Structure 1
């Protein structure tokens, strides 16, 4: 009997050791590869004006996925790697499609609501009537009059957001395969709130090479920009975590990440002409935009929407 318990303890110890090793390898690769790729931005002195900035940023987005793949196949070697990464299951189809729809709608709604909240609080210079900043931008781009009423052009921006979300899906999957596909489930053993906070902080700090150069927060000192980015990533990461957990899939979170990236530009569409937008205070990036996501997460926690694994999931291995 004693020998059986000893063997069991050794197995638990080995499992725990492998789990910590996997976490260390994942974080080392995700951060190391990303910061290595971003190195030319700082070394050249061009910063965000570097001619290859777009390609560098895109390659950075792939590093969490690379780290997750290496960790799964080289360290963990599970029986079902696709399931371990959240790529499957895709059933039941109705539930999966429903969460894909939420992945598209929820981020766009939160970003638009952030503009309303910022306007009410006096930190976002909104123009929800004449869309003056957007009007001026289009006029400058076309060099003349508008091809259709400004209201119709504003409505088309939401169509562009949908298309952009779909186009952003695969680049966003480069991040989400790591953050929500692999990392989040490994942190949930510490509890829901710690998992959301830790994964959000990791996600935010991962952006450091760009944020410290002025990305997203051009008017803020580097330390403040990084602090704000970490706060935003923690809150929006909680929303993405909910999509990942409830759907049992990384795809809705990846689509939501793509929608988040695609709809950031709405801040210009609804702004007042001639006014600056301080992202420390306004938009989803600023504190005023964090209010509704924070409320949503509190409600989701209170209603036990972060139960892992979801209660509806019975171990039936039907991936497709």
Structure 2
């Protein structure tokens, strides 16, 4: 939810949205309120990706170099998502330029998420927290932004705002890790 709040704040600061324009139906409010439950219930959907990317691939790419392996895992993970805008992942057809930009935005989004998911993985050795974070990023933060901001932003703007929302958390993890060394 923090990424969603930071993303909506960034939308306000950029002029994409104003809190005075808030006109969400009750169902959207209920969906946002159910965010933590959505993360938990939908985590099994994302478990396979987290098992493959985090539990299997991550530690084998660049052993002993967590930043390098995180960047590389995020890059591979982002590229792996590239077919999705072309097959209706966003609920309909996208213009070619929107699909290409979606492909571009998937790289920083995947790298940022992998920093957080990798931190969780290294802290507890389980893919379940990462699956819940992945679920929350996709189904709560990204969809939540579309609920809050409505048609003022598209898929790519929402992804950019999600990247902005995740950045402070990644910075906090990086800062905490550097202090531990």
TM-score range, shorter chain: 0.7 to 0.9
Is 1:180–1:244's contact at 8 Å kept on the other side of the alignment? yes
How many pairs does the alignment contain?
A: 177
Report deviation, 1:159: 3.3
Is 1:207 aligned to residue 81 of structure 2?
A: yes
Unaligned runs of 5+ in 1: 1-107, 136-149, 312-320
| Equivalent position of 1:111 in the other structure | 4
Q: CA RMSD in A?
A: 2.8
- 2-structure distance, mates of 1:154, 1:210: 25
User: Structure 1 120/202 Cα, relative in aligned 2: closer, same or farther at 3 Å?
Assistant: same
Say which SS state the counterpart of residue 125 (structure 1) adopts: coil
| Equivalent position of 1:270 in the other structure | 148
Deviations 1:2-56 (A, max 9, x none): xxxxxxxxxxxxxxxxxxxxxxxxxxxxxxxxxxxxxxxxxxxxxxxxxxxxxxx
Report deviation, 1:251: 1.2
- 1-structure distance, mates of 2:89, 2:154: 13
Alignment of 1:26-105 (within 5 A): none
Alignment of 1:122-133 (within 5 A): 122=15, 124-126=16-18, 128-129=19-20, 131-132=22-23
Is 1:184 aligned to residue 58 of structure 2?
A: yes
Larger radius of gyration between Structure 1 and Structure 2: 1
- 2-structure distance, mates of 1:279, 1:154: 17
- 2-structure distance, mates of 1:243, 1:188: 18
- Structure with the bigger RCO (C-alpha within 8 Å, sep 6+) is 2
Report deviation, 1:231: 1.6
Q: Which has the higher helix share?
A: 2
**TM superposition score normalised by structure 1:** 0.49
Match of 1:259 among 129, 136, 143: 136
Is 2:4–2:165's contact at 8 Å kept on the other side of the alignment? no
| Equivalent position of 2:113 in the other structure | 236
- 2-structure distance, mates of 1:214, 1:227: 17
- 2-structure distance, mates of 1:242, 1:271: 30
**TM superposition score normalised by structure 2:** 0.81
Deviations 1:217-243 (A, max 9, x none): 935344332111122111122111111
